[in-house]
Amino acid sequence: MAMKDAGEFVTKMIAVTKGEQTLKEALDEYDAGVVASGEEVETSKKQTMAFHDYENFLNSPLVKMGIKPPPA
């Protein structure tokens, strides 16, 4: 995730230097993406733990949300 975040940051800064976005717009979008990625990591962690705890598996993100990611 760190590499993905770094790549996205560079992409946003390039957009700023080209005048395609203001610095505020770029950083706001970057921040929103980092938060969303963090939520994905937390869901993945919960699912991993659920695979090893059958009693709680039925409460896992995979069972509750399925395999299709939520709409962005």
State the DSSP string of 43-60: HHHHHHHHHT-HHHHTTS
For residue 6, is pLDDT > 80?
Answer: yes
Q: Which residues contact 21 (CB under 8 A, 6 or more apart)?
A: 12, 15, 29
> H-type helices in the chain, by residue range?
2-17, 23-51, 54-57, 61-65
Average pLDDT, integer, range 47-67: 73
For residue 2, is pLDDT > 70?
Answer: yes
Average pLDDT, integer, range 18-41: 90
- The conformation of residue 70, written as its DSSP 8-state character, comes to P
For residue 5, is pLDDT > 80?
Answer: yes
pLDDT band at residue 17 using 50, 70 and 90 as cut-offs: very high
| pTM value > 0.75 | no
Q: Which residue type is seen at 49?
A: M
The ranges assigned to domains in the chain are: 23-72
